[in-house]
Structure 1
Amino acid sequence: MINITVNGVRHDLDIDPSTPLLYALRNELQLHGAKFGCGLGQCGACTVIVGDRPVFSCLMPVSAIGSRPVRTIESLGTKE
């Protein structure tokens, strides 16, 4: 079981710890702001903020998040 906080909400995910953060966000949490681009961490389409640093979510396994909060594009601004 992986516990992560995304956009201020805590989630318990029953996924493989080596799953890339990008797939956890898109497939498990239905957050589609981060996109799959090159898969190599070069294009930046999958960038999210972990703690206070931007990271390529296609390269980061969910087990590497630890207790740091994750912010996606969905948390920036409002629908208005």
Structure 2
Amino acid sequence: MDITINGQAKRLEVEKGTPLLWVIRDEVGLTGTKFGCGVASCGNCTVHLDGKAVKSCAVNVEQVANREITTIEGLKRSRCLCGETSMGKK
């Protein structure tokens, strides 16, 4: 299967029905997308699919052929992060 992730074409051999989350993490090696609940309610696994936010634990890999996937690693920083939400800050 051919996918495009963060602007790069990838050819992968994965089983049909595999959640996109596990393809991103285990096959592509991008670990910024996190596992949370596995039932598409927490949002930890959110990625952009053709510019729209989707929960990657609820999208099967065959649904992303010929579409653009963007993970957190693929997002461009437009400005410095302030750090206000860093752990330990009150």
TM-score, with normalisation over the residues of structure 1?
0.92
**1:37 is the counterpart of 2:36:** yes
After superposition, residues 1-80 of structure 1 pair within 5 angstroms as 2-77=1-76
Shift of 1:76: 1.3
Q: Which amino acid aligns with 2:63?
A: A
Instruction: Render the CA deviation track for 1:2-26: whole Å, top value 9, x for unaligned.
Output: 1100000001111102110000000
Shift of 1:37: 0.1
CA distance, structure 1, for counterparts of residue 54 and residue 16 of structure 2: 17
Shift of 1:77: 2.5
Instruction: Render the CA deviation track for 1:20-49: whole Å, top value 9, x for unaligned.
Output: 000000001110111000001000000000
Shift of 1:66: 2.2
Q: Which amino acid aligns with 1:57?
A: S
CA distance, structure 2, for counterparts of residue 72 and residue 23 of structure 1: 13
Structure 1 segments, 4+ long, off by >6 Å, are none
CA distance, structure 1, for counterparts of residue 45 and residue 11 of structure 2: 22
Q: Which runs of 5+ in 1 are unaligned?
A: none
Instruction: Render the CA deviation track for 1:48-67: whole Å, top value 9, x for unaligned.
Output: 00012111000100000121
Q: C-alpha root-mean-square deviation of aligned residues, in Å?
A: 1.3
SS of the counterpart of 2:58? coil
Length, aligned pairs only:
78
Which one has a bigger Cα radius of gyration? 2
